[in-house]
């Protein structure tokens, strides 16, 4: 019924202008308020936004509906952010019909077979990481820049066919600037985003051309990515015409022309070039941050670290990464605890109804098992909260415990949410309660992460190389916080992005 959302319970609003937004987006430690609210109000609750209400959803049945339903689309503030960074023709923003065919074409580079073909690229980047760590004169090393560069270089080579040097210093520096800008997200920015999200698209695009320093940096990064994409398209086309093999990377495969001069999948060169910014941003910090935050947890668990090292050493020379239980449990737990996209906002395109796994009680005392959502309602897919739901993950949901993935048997039922880590049913030894954990870190539905296999394979190879050669411990004065800066970001006590770790060579 109309008006239901207003009766859904939630925390009081501390500010008439920001509502709960600052607590949600700018908390010193990500989740500080969000996880407490979930405990208090359950898997669906209401927050005050700068304007209007936001429904926070971590209920599995509701999430399944939202990620798969065409009744929801990206929320305007998120759409604007993605427009600024990736451009209007990027896969994330094109209309549904275009999305389907573009995604099918791009998927050629992200199938299990294609990703197996990138293993040597990942291994080369992992060896470079080892060299850099070996050459460091200090035992305490900030691993952020090393891993960011490593993940950028693998995207460059596997997707674009470009070595890190070919990407250009200016583009690399601009990407770093954008990360820095994200780290300094302020109240003013949040307010500006809330206001611009209410503007008609043409007016927002006009404001996006304003000569502010932030917008200038973002525009420059997008332009550089597009120019790089265009240059690659021209070069690959010319190489294919000369009969040279261009099949070593995704862009090369997609641009391989037949005798009549048309590409095998019908993609126009400018459409492909327009994906360059997305590929670089979607694949770099996401994978790097998951690795960084995971390695920090490994540093806290010396016994698990030793067991993982021994699994890796025993399997040395064997590249069946998928059949290494500790390695994969560690990756799944890193993704569960630290989903780099912790909240993903949607807006209802039309009036609709979402089902609930468990009833909720409205402020009127009425229990409901489905929610009527009115057109225009903002709904947050609370990925991080879903992955801490005690009803799904057990009482230790807030603890980093890779062993949770080792118990139980393979899960093959329906209701899967994300594309990865739907694999285990955990049985509580005492009362035989079955949990059905599913990771939403890569989202689900038609817009789920295109690069999830790429990310998993890259993480498997990097972790094997790093843990085999080095041991990791936390510095004594560790004061690292995890903040939300568009994606999750490790931040040091000085407010800068960084994650110092004590790295010792294994003799």
φ/ψ (deg, to 5) at 425: -105, 125
Q: Interacting stretch for ligand HEM, rule CB under 6 A, among 29-37, 114-122, 347-355, 447-455?
A: 447-455
How far apart CA 167 and CA 227 sit, in angstroms, is 11
Which of residues 81, 286, 380, 385 is near ligand HEM by CB under 6 A? 286
Shortest separation between residue 71's beta carbon and ligand HEM, angstroms: 16
Site string for ligand HEM, 225-254 (x = CB under 6 A): ------------------------------
Our CA dihedral for 96, 97, 100, 103, rounded to 10 degrees, sits at -80
Q: Interacting stretch for ligand HEM, rule CB under 6 A, among 15-23, 48-56, 193-201, 278-286?
A: 278-286
DSSP track, 441-473: TT--GGGS-TTHHHHHHHHHHHHHHHHHHEEEE
Does 92 bind ligand HEM (CB under 6 A)? Our answer is yes
Which of residues 20, 23, 153, 287 is near ligand HEM by CB under 6 A? 287
Q: Interacting stretch for ligand HEM, rule CB under 6 A, among 136-144, 226-234, 274-282, 406-414?
A: 274-282
How far apart CA 216 and CA 491 sit, in angstroms, is 25
Does 73 bind ligand HEM (CB under 6 A)? Our answer is no
Which of residues 155, 272, 277, 461 is near ligand HEM by CB under 6 A? 155
Measuring CA to CA, which residue among 199, 198, 268 is closest to residue 237?
A: 268
Please, are residues 325 and 373 in contact by the beta-carbon 8 Å criterion? Answer: no
Burial class (CB in 10 A: 0-12, 13-18, 19+), 94: middle
**Residue closer to ligand HEM, measured from CB, 360 or 463:** 463
Does 103 bind ligand HEM (CB under 6 A)? Our answer is yes
Q: Which residues contact 395 (CB under 8 A, 6 or more apart)?
A: none
How far apart CA 5 and CA 377 sit, in angstroms, is 9
Shortest separation between residue 67's beta carbon and ligand HEM, angstroms: 9
The two most distant CA atoms of the chain are separated, in Å, by 73
Alpha helices in 315-414 (DSSP H): 325-337, 383-386, 390-393
Shortest separation between residue 395's beta carbon and ligand HEM, angstroms: 26
449 assigned to a ligand binding site: yes
Shortest separation between residue 278's beta carbon and ligand HEM, angstroms: 5
Shortest separation between residue 458's beta carbon and ligand HEM, angstroms: 7
Does 348 bind ligand HEM (CB under 6 A)? Our answer is no
Does 81 bind ligand HEM (CB under 6 A)? Our answer is no
Q: 190: part of which helix (H) or strand (E)?
A: helix 187-196
φ/ψ (deg, to 5) at 485: -140, 75
Does 447 bind ligand HEM (CB under 6 A)? Our answer is yes
Binders in 455-474 for ligand HEM, by CB under 6 A? 455
**Residue closer to ligand HEM, measured from CB, 8 or 443:** 443
List binding-site positions for heme: 449
């Amino acid at each position: 019924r109309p008006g239901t959302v207003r009766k859904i319970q939630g925390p009081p609003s501390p500010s008439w202008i920001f509502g709960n937004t600052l607590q949600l987006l700018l908390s010193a430690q990500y989740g500080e308020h969000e996880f407490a609210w979930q405990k208090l109000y359950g898997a669906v609750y209401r927050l005050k936004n700068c304007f209007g209400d936001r429904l926070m959803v971590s209920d599995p049945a509701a999430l399944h509906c939202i990620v798969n339903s065409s009744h929801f689309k990206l929320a305007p503030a998120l759409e604007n952010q993605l427009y600024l960074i990736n451009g209007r023709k990027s896969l994330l923003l094109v209309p549904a019909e275009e999305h389907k065919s573009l995604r099918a074409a791009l998927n050629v580079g992200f199938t299990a077979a294609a990703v197996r073909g990138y293993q040597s690229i990942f291994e080369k980047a992992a060896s470079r990481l080892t060299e850099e760590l070996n050459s460091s004169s200090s035992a305490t090393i900030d691993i952020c820049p090393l891993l960011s560069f490593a993940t950028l270089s693998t995207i460059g080579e596997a997707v674009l066919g470009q070595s890190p040097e070919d990407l250009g210093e200016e583009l690399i520096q601009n990407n770093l600037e954008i990360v820095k800008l994200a780290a300094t997200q302020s109240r003013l920015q949040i307010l500006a985003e809330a206001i611009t999200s209410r503007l008609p698209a043409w007016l927002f695009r006009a404001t996006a051309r304003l000569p502010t320093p932030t917008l200038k940096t973002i525009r420059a990064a997008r332009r550089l990515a597009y120019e790089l994409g265009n240059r690659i398209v021209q070069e690959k086309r010319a190489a294919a015409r000369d009969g040279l093999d261009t099949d070593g990377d995704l862009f090369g495969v997609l641009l391989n022309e037949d005798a009549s001069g048309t590409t095998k999948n019908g993609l126009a060169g400018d459409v492909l070039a327009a994906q360059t910014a997305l590929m670089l941003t979607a694949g770099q910090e996401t994978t790097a941050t998951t690795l960084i935050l995971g390695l920090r947890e490994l540093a806290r668990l010396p016994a698990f670290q030793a067991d993982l090292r021994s699994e890796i050493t025993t399997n040395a020379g064997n590249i069946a990464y998928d059949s290494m239980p500790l390695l994969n449990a560690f990756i799944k737990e890193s993704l569960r605890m630290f989903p780099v996209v912790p909240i993903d906002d949607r807006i209802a395109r039309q009036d609709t109804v979402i089902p609930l796994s468990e009833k909720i009680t409205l402020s009127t005392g009425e229990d409901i098992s489905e929610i009527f959502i009115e057109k225009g309602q903002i709904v947050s897919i609370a990925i991080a909260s879903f992955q801490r739901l005690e009803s799904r993950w057990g009482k230790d949901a807030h603890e980093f415990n890779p062993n949770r993935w080792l118990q139980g048997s393979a899960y093959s039922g329906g209701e899967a949410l994300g594309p990865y880590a739907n694999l285990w049913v955990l049985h509580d030894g005492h009362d035989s309660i079955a949990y059905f954990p599913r990771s939403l870190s890569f989202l689900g539905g038609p817009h789920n992460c295109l690069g999830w296999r790429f990310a998993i394979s890259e993480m498997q190879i990097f972790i094997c190389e790093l843990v085999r050669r080095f041991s990791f411990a936390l510095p004594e004065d560790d004061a690292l916080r995890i903040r939300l800066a568009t994606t999750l970001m490790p931040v040091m006590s000085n407010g800068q992005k960084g994650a110092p770790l004590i790295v010792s060579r294994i003799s």
